[in-house]
Structure 1
Amino acid sequence: MSTGSAERSWCVVVPHHATGARLARHRLADELADVVPPTLLADLVAVLAELVGNAVRHADPLPGGVVRVAWRLRATAGGPTVQLRVTDGGGASGPLMRIAAPDAADGRGLHIIAGLASRWGVERDGLGQSVWAEFDPAGATRSDLVVAG
């Protein structure tokens, strides 16, 4: 793990398709493997997979049939702080945490995000919505939901 610059950020566009989640996960892992601890990287990859997967399943694509994936890394005295952000065309309703039956095949994605991230939320504008998750070593993991827009 290297220290590098104080802040780094990336933005990629992936297909609004299951392959988009795979591409986003691999790109994130490649970019941050030498920058963040392995346990944090595993959490980031898991949350990004859920965010992109939810965008593909529950939201419309952005123009061009894509989803925008961005992440920002800031070095702090307590360790790296990372924000993941997935922007899509929005859906009929915003993200909602569901109660999944024990044998249900889906319905746990936002619970996974809330359990791994320090906080997460949704922002809406005229073009669609962004769902974001932050990982802050100084903050306790909480299931805060922030909705703006």
Structure 2
Amino acid sequence: MTAVQQENGSMQSRSLVVPHHAQGVRAARRQLTQELTGSITASLLCDVVTVVAELLSNAIRHARPLPGGVIRLSWRLRRATGDARVLEVRVTDGGAATEPCMRAAGPRSIDGRGLGIVAAMARCWGTDRNGAEHSVWAEFAVA
């Protein structure tokens, strides 16, 4: 696991590289919790950790890893307008054959709820492509 931290007067950012398997999700959740405890409310932290775990799990299940067999998680806490702050989390992988999209999961479906969970917990979410890299991001309003 490799981490890079950057602080700027109105922005704090962090990037973490984890293995492209379940142990990477566990390590990322632990590190994210440690880094954000005290910076955001405990309730919001629970939502953020849930969304990050979902995005990382989706990357492992559906996408190729980045070179070196890894996934990159980054987050940044920044000022928005006035005193408002926004926390953005971003999971970057090597892309998949199809774009991530929400699916309609019935009560008996065993999967297909992940991005619905992300949409329900985050203020907004989306995807970006940069060459071979693909990112799924989510934003949260910070009180």
- Given candidates 92, 95, 104, the residue that maps to 1:99 is 104
Q: In the aligned structure 2, how far is the partner of 1:78 from the partner of 1:102? A: 41
Gaps of 5+ in 2: 1-8
Shift of 1:103: 2.0
- 1:54 pairs with 58, 66, 70, which one? 58
Q: What amino acid sits opposite 2:87 in the alignment?
A: V
Q: Percent identity?
A: 51
Matched residue of 2:103: which SS? coil
Shift in Å, 1:15? 0.5
Equivalent position amino acid for 1:101 in 2: G
CA contact (8 A) 1:36 1:80 kept: no
Q: CA deviation at 1:19?
A: 1.1
Q: Does 1:13 align with 2:33?
A: no
Partner of 1:121: 126
Letter in 2 for 1:96: C
TM-score when normalising by structure 1: 0.84
Alignment of 1:62-81 (within 5 A): 62-75=66-79, 77-81=82-86
**Contact kept? 2:92, 2:133, Cα under 8 Å:** yes
Cα deviation for residue 34 of structure 1 reads 1.2
1:38 aligned residue (17, 42, 53) = 42
Bigger shift: 58-67 or 118-127?
118-127
Matched, 1:90 2:114: no
Deviation of 1:54 (Å): 0.4
Q: Tell me if structure 2 keeps the 8 A contact 1:78–1:137.
A: no
Structure 2 contact 87–142 (Cα < 8 Å) conserved:
no
- In 2: Cα distance, 1:114 partner to 1:126 partner: 25
Higher alpha-carbon deviation: 76-85 or 127-136:
76-85
Amino acid at match of 1:71: W
2:66 aligns to what SS in structure 1? Answer: coil
Q: Aligned residue pairs: how many?
A: 134
Kindly state the Cα deviation for residue 65 of structure 1 after the two structures are TM-superposed: 0.3
Deviation at 1:82, TM superposition (A): 0.2
